[in-house]
C-alpha cells in the first residue's frame, strides 16, 4: 500500500522550520536538488501534511518508535466512503489496527512471508517471469510495464492463493481500481466501492474452492486459522483482500523504477550482464535510488519531541523516503548508482517497526527474477524511447518503460 495510506492530522505550523512544498513541480521530475537544499537547511521541515523528516537516521528512528502509530481510516474518510462493505472492511483490516489486534492480524501473513519461506517461491516466480517474456515479441518496442512489471505481481498473487493464472488480469484490474483510494480523490469513490464489490465475492468464491482442497498456499493457511477459531470468516476474506491491495501496484512500479534506472545507465547494465551475482545488489541500490513509496506517515500517540521540535498528540510525522535514501550523512555520493556500496542503508520505502512491510522479501525476489531473466535472455535490451514517469510527493510511477528486448 502506498504510504499516502497512512496520512493523518497535520501538526500546527512551526515558523522556524523550512517548508516542503508538496506541489513543487520538481516532484514530477528531479526532486533531489530541492530535497538536498532543504535537508542542508534542517533535518526537519514542515508541509501541509505535517512535519517532514529529511534525514535517514531520524526517519528510521521515527518508524521504529512505538510512540507513533498509523491512521489508515483518514484516507477512507478523505475519499468519502462513509458507510457500506468497503468502509466496514477498511475498519476491520490489518492496516487500521493497533496494538494486539494489529499483531493478531499481522502474524498469519508475516509468518507466511518469512524470508526462508519466501525464498522457496523463487523458482515459481521465475517461471511466471519466463512465461510472460515468452509472450513478448523481442524485436518490437514493448512497454515492459504493461507486458511484464504489472503482470508479475498479479500472477504471483494468483500463485500465492492457488488461483488459476487466468484470474491475473482480473486481480490486476480490481487492485488498480481499489488502490486508487490512496489518491484521496473523492471523484473515485464510486469506482473504488465498485472494485471492492467485485473483489469480496471473488475472494469468497476462491475460499470456498480452497476449503474443499486445502494445500500449502497462503489461502489454505488462512482457512486453517479460521477453522481453528483464530480468524473470523470476515477476517479471512479481509486478509486475502489486503494481500491483493498490498502486493501488486507497489511491486510493479518498483520493478519499473529499478529496470528503468539500469537501462538508462548502459555501463551498469553491461556490468550486470557480465556478473549476475550482482543482481540482488542492483535491486537494493535501485530501490534506494528511486523508491516507489515516497512517504511513510506516522501519528504521534501523545505529546513528544522530534529533533528538538514539539510534536502534539495526533500530529503527523512524515518520513520523506527519497530525502532519506539520498542522505549523504548515511550514503556517501548518494546521487550515484553504485553497485559497490559496502553498507547500503536500511530502505525506508518499506516502512519499519511494528508496521513494516511484510512483503519486502517477496517484492525483492520478484524484482531480482525479472532482472535476472532480462539479463540472461536479452543482454542487449535497450530503451526504445524515454521512460514515462508520473511521480508526485507520495509515489513514483513508471507507466511506460518502452524497451526493445532484442534490437536487430
Residue 66's Cβ-count burial label (10 Å; 0-12, 13-18, 19+) is exposed
Q: Per-residue string for binding with ligand HEM, 89-128, x by CB under 6 A?
A: -----xx----------x--x---x---------------
Q: Which of residues 118-177 bind ligand HEM (CB under 6 A)?
A: none
Applying CB under 6 A, the span of 128-136, 187-195, 325-333, 354-362 interacting with ligand HEM comes to 354-362
What is d(CA 114, CA 137) in angstroms, rounded to the nearest whole number? Answer: 36
3 state DSSP class of 47? strand
What is d(CA 140, CA 121) in angstroms, rounded to the nearest whole number? Answer: 31
What is d(CA 143, CA 104) in angstroms, rounded to the nearest whole number? Answer: 41
Q: How far is the CB of 252 from ligand HEM (least distance, A)?
A: 8
Q: How far is the CB of 369 from ligand HEM (least distance, A)?
A: 13
- Supply the DSSP symbol for 345: P
CA distances from 330 to 59, 134, 152, 177 (A): 12, 41, 33, 37
Applying CB under 6 A, the span of 11-19, 81-89, 207-215, 359-367 interacting with ligand HEM comes to 359-367
Nearest residue (CB) to ligand HEM, 362 versus 404: 362
Q: How far is the CB of 183 from ligand HEM (least distance, A)?
A: 16
Q: Per-residue string for binding with ligand HEM, 273-302, x by CB under 6 A?
A: -------------------xx--x------
Q: Given phi > 0 = left and psi -120 to 50 = alpha, else beta, which region is 7?
A: beta
The number of residues that bind ligand HEM (CB under 6 A) is 31
What is d(CA 219, CA 300) in angstroms, rounded to the nearest whole number? Answer: 35
For 85, the grid coordinates are: 462493505
Q: Site for ligand HEM (CB under 6 A): which residue of 43, 195, 345, 352?
A: 352
Would you say how long the chain is, in residues?
Answer: 408
Task: For residue 251, state whether it binds ligand HEM (rule: CB under 6 A).
Answer: yes
For 336, the grid coordinates are: 550515484
User: Contact positions toward ligand HEM, by CB under 6 A?
Assistant: 1, 3, 6, 63, 70, 94-95, 106, 109, 113, 242-243, 246-247, 250-251, 254, 292-293, 296, 349-352, 355-359, 362-363
Amino acid at each position: 500500500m502506498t504510504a499516502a495510506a497512512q496520512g493523518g492530522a497535520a501538526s500546527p505550523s512551526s515558523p522556524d522550520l523550512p517548508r516542503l512544498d508538496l506541489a513543487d513541480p520538481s516532484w514530477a521530475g528531479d526532486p533531489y536538488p530541492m530535497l538536498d537544499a532543504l535537508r542542508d537547511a534542517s533535518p526537519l521541515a514542515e508541509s501541509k501534511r505535517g512535519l517532514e523528516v529529511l534525514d535517514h537516521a531520524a526517519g528510521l528512528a521515527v518508524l521504529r518508535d512505538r510512540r507513533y502509530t498509523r491512521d489508515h481510516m483518514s484516507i477512507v474518510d478523505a475519499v468519502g466512503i462513509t458507510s457500506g462493505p468497503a468502509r466496514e472492511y477498511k475498519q476491520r483490516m490489518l492496516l487500521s489496527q493497533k496494538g494486539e489486534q494489529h499483531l493478531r492480524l499481522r502474524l498469519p501473513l508475516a509468518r507466511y512471508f518469512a524470508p526462508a519461506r519466501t525464498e522457496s517461491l523463487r523458482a515459481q516466480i521465475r517461471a511466471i517471469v519466463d512465461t510472460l517474456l515468452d509472450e513478448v515479441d523481442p524485436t518490437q518496442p514493448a512497454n515492459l510495464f504493461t507486458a511484464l512489471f504489472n503482470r508479475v505481481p498479479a500472477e504471483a498473487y494468483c500463485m500465492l492463493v492457488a488461483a488459476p493464472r487466468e484470474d491475473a488480469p482480473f486481480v490486476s484490474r480490481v487492485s488498480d481500481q481499489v488502490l486508487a483510494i490512496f489518491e484521496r480523490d473523492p471523484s473515485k469513490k464510486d469506482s473504488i466501492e465498485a472494485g471492492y464489490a467485485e473483489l469480496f465475492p471473488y475472494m469468497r468464491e476462491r475460499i470456498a474452492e480452497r476449503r474443499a482442497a486445502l494445500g500449502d498456499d497462503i489461502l489454505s493457511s488462512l482457512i486453517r486459522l479460521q477453522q481453528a477459531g483464530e480468524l473470523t470468516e470476515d477476517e479471512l476474506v479481509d486478509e486475502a483482500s489486503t494481500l491483493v491491495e498490498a502486493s501488486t501496484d507497489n511491486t510493479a512500479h518498483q520493478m519499473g523504477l529499478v529496470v528503468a534506472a539500469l537501462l538508462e545507465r548502459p555501463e551498469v547494465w553491461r556490468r550486470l550482464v557480465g556478473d549476475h551475482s550482482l543482481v540482488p545488489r542492483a535491486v537494493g541500490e535501485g530501490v534506494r535510488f528511486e523508491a516507489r513509496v515516497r512517504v511513510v506517515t506516522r501519528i504521534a500517540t501523545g505529546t513528544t519531541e522530534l529533533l528538538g521540535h514539539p510534536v502534539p498528540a495526533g500530529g503527523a510525522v512524515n518520513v520523506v523516503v527519497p530525502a532519506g535514501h539520498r542522505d549523504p550523512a548515511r550514503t556517501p555520493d548518494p546521487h550515484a548508482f553504485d553497485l559497490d556500496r559496502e553498507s547500503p542503508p536500511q530502505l525506508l520505502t518499506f516502512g519499519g517497526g511494528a508496521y513494516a512491510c511484510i512483503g519486502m522479501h517477496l517484492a525483492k525476489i520478484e524484482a531480482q527474477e525479472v532482472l535476472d531473466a532480462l539479463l540472461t535472455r536479452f543482454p542487449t535490451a535497450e530503451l526504445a524511447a524515454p521512460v514515462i514517469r508520473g511521480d508526485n510527493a507520495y509515489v513514483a510511477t513508471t507507466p511506460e518503460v518502452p524497451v526493445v528486448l532484442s534490437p536487430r
